[in-house]
Amino acid sequence: MAASENLVSRVLRQPDVTFRYSIADWDLLVRQARSAGLLARVRHVLAQHDMIEAIPAEARWHFDAAATLADKQQLAVRWEVQKIREALAELAIPVIVLKGGAYVLANSPAATGRLFNDIDILVPRDQLGPVEAALLLAGWHPTSLSDYDQRYYRRWMHEIPPLQHVQRATVIDVHHAILPDTARYHPDPDKLRSRAVAVAGLPGVYVLSPEDRILHSATHLFHDGELPHGLRDLTDLDLLLRDAAVDRDFWLRLIARAEELQLCRPLFYALRYLRYFLDTPIPDSVMASLQAFAPNRATLVLMDGIFTRVLAPMHTSCADALTPVARLAAFVRAHWLRMPVHLLIPHLFHKAFISPYLDNGTPKAA
């Protein structure tokens, strides 16, 4: 597996290592944690170990500022979900909040120190039109995408193009499934909805069940070709698993649910790299149960070479000569999983050679 100076993972695994850190080490930790979107979460871990006072003043304000931003964003997420609920109230459909927003609404430990780029919701496919119309009336409008990307989203993807509020600039991703129809795996959205958990105080708003939250997070992580915050998403999974595993029957339920939803392969990868980066306590029996869904040995060596690089913080200190190749491989792999070859090749050709230019043929501004 790839070797790197990944201070963020090291501190999350063993916070007291920072007692030996020089100012230069703290500076590098701040830079890596910021690039990974984990400044606030690292601060929280240090606070849990009563180590805030041990952070040098030159570094502490970076962690404090990130924690303040994370707290404000959690309030903003609750506010935005309320506004989404109001906008969709007349449709009388279940609105399932996904990923980071769900962690906040469920009061999950995975919400701690979590920063947000958007709010993801899952709605029935046959309600996409009414949902989009209602959100448009409430002030969320399509973001600037090329005509090609608009068509690509609506024809092939499991979501419509992102919507951004004209006043608050908040972004909503509206999903009808958690993977595209053309993907290799087909978790049934109806099965996800069947176990959704109602959010207290927000009628009509739900989050996925604990097992489905974990499986969705793993699936999203290992089907995404661009991973600027891959380590952040991995720490989400770490916190979700540690919280759920207090129930002695949890692991059996998780594996059974992964089989039901055809998501054992992404779960295998998630657990493998959780052990590697964060020493997440995963029973050997669980890994043995998932071994039947692991790739062959040669493929696994290749995946290790890719994911031990691309899941590290996107910082030069965590990179080696093969990191750019690994990132390209992750990008191609994600698209290969999403669509068959006869769709993949024209799409990659368009993104590589046509998308860099505007409709009039002039290069896009940097």
User: pLDDT digits over 223-257, tens only?
Assistant: 886 788 899 999 999 999 999 999 989 999 999 99
Question: 7-357 architecture in CATH?
Answer: 2-Layer Sandwich (3.30)
Residue 363: per-residue pLDDT = 37
356: confidence class by pLDDT, cuts 50, 70, 90: low
Residue 183: per-residue pLDDT = 83
3-state DSSP of the chain: CCCCCCHHHHHHHCHHHHHHCCHHHHHHHHHHHHHHCCHHHHHHHHHHCCCHHHCCHHHHHHHHHHHHHHHHHHHHHHHHHHHHHHHHHHHCCCEEEEHHHHHHHCCCHHHCCCCCCCEEEECCHHHHHHHHHHHHHCCEEECCCCHHHHHHHHHHCCECCCEEECCCCCEEEEECCCCCCCCCCCCCHHHHHHCCEECCCCCCEEECCHHHHHHHHHHHHHCCCCCCCHHHHHHHHHHHHHHHCCCCCHHHHHHHHHHHCCCHHHHHHHHHHHHHHHCCCCCHHHHHHHHHHCCCHHHHHHHHHHHHHHCCCCCHHHCCCCHHHHHHHHHHHHHHHHCCHHHHHHHHHHHHHHCCECCCCCECCC
150: confidence class by pLDDT, cuts 50, 70, 90: confident
Residue 340: per-residue pLDDT = 64
Is this structure's pTM higher than 0.85?
Answer: yes
Q: Report whether pLDDT(334) > 60.
A: yes
Average pLDDT of the chain to the nearest whole number = 90
